[in-house]
Structure 1
């Protein structure tokens, strides 16, 4: 029986003799070594100390930093110091952090996504993207982390759950690896993942219904009511962990929505464009899915600041397109929804995907 390919072998084969790819390979390997340490801490839970305890500060999102947030950030910064990384943008730091000005790469990361789930033992994760540093005569180090997502060289997330899994793209499809704890290495388990074109599962925090605009309210209502003559209904999911929501999509399809709403501070949602949405968008698109801010392609939005927020809709391409059509339809007629039921394109036969 052929032995499964591990992460190092996969990256070595991908990089070949290319200098930039070798730098990306080295950086991913160093980051993933750090995530093995984070996974070990997570697996010990309370035995590793008060992971959910407050660290005494807040991040740029206004969330109280947990002890584990800070430790994960420290571990990954140590990893970046051992890699060809010039600058890092992290959720846990107010400003970009210079590492080695002469190095060719920039890293952006959410060191510990979903840390509010620590106490309940729900999935948490790490999200990262890697960019090339633009020439110094046309940009600053901060510009290196404020690039459009289309410029990403690699992106991935690690989900620390019942198993520790890595979902990775280097622009050659999306691959899923699982951590072999005994060997301390990630092993390739699913090559070139393909997200179903359309699925009947959606994830959204329905408790915010009254604050959404009409297009999102109509979309969710039509998912609940079912469509066409068959009255097929969608299932709703919500875990409140971006990596967990994304992982379900890679396994069985569906759509995730975190729209902006009318609450103070939520007009652009709560997710971050630079170190959360762009990585997810790259992974989704490489697997045949899609990601938008309800209308625009996420990876074509030019960031203006490190901690810039964005609405996010991601997942099966047809489902993401449906949400955009609701938004566009509302701009033309705010009293109707376009796709489902007696109001919809599905009934008329015009809404096939």
Structure 2
């Protein structure tokens, strides 16, 4: 989820302009991940904090304060089933991930469980990169900019990572419709920089 300041005057009906704001205008964002425990991750410009549900009292308690995404990691998350649908730059980055050795920070492991929340959450904590590129069949991407890409981009940047659509910083993209789709890459700073080197092949 995302929180924005409304553009229209207080006390008047909201308009589409209140929602079609670039991600950089977010003042807060968050998500809830369910598993062996239930965790709420909440970010403001002051930092990212995690709260775990304590079932004995029925409340969330802070369990992860001031979360910082490691600058690099050994996990890459992408749907390999679409490999030949991806651009040459994305394919090259995937090949680099597969070829990593101890000499250059590897070996990497591929973890993709089909839940962006779970994949990005793990990479935020442990370091890693999540990729959902555009494909030949879906040239505009699949994920929704406003309520999937923007919240995670905001959270990751506050935590020290980066996020892009492949050509532009996600938070700078000006939305034109509520359900606008986008390609999406998000993760550890150093891994994102190496990805962008490969994506330059597509320009």
Same fold, TM-score > 0.5, yes or no: yes
Aligned partner of 2:31 in structure 1 is 157
Residue 329 of structure 1 deviates from its aligned partner by: 3.4
CA distance in 2, matches of 1:242, 1:329: 26
* Equivalent pair of 1:174/1:193 in contact (CA under 8 Å): yes
1:148 correspondence with 2:19: no
Asked whether 1:311 is paired with 2:193, we answer no
1:240 matched to 2:114? The reply is yes
Structure with the higher strand share, 1 or 2: 2
1:133–1:141 contact (8 Å) kept in structure 2: no
1:134 maps to 2:134: no
* Displacement after TM superposition at 1:247 (Å): 1.0
What TM-score results when the alignment is normalised by the length of structure 1? 0.54
Q: Tell whether the 8 Å contact from 1:198 to 1:317 is kept in structure 2 after alignment.
A: yes
Structure 1, unmatched stretches of 5+, are 1-127, 332-353
Question: Among residues 149, 154, 166, which one is paired with 1:277 in the alignment?
Answer: 149
1:301-320 Cα deviation digits (max 9, x unpaired): 01110100011100101111
Pair 1:292 & 2:164 matched: yes
SS in 1 for 2:51: strand
Go from structure 1 to structure 2 and tell me whether the alpha carbon gap of 1:270 and 1:188 turns closer, same or farther (over 3 Å shift): same
Could you tell me the TM-score, scaled by structure 2's length? 0.93
Contact 1:167–1:176 under 8 Å retained in 2: yes
Shift of 1:226: 2.0
Structure 1 runs of 4+ with >6 Å offset: none
Question: 1:213 — aligned with what?
Answer: 87
Q: Does 1:196 align with 2:70?
A: yes
* Aligned residue pair count: 201
For 1:271-324, what per-residue CA distance to the aligned partner results, in whole angstroms no more than 9, with x for missing partners?
110001100011101111111112311111011101000111001011112111
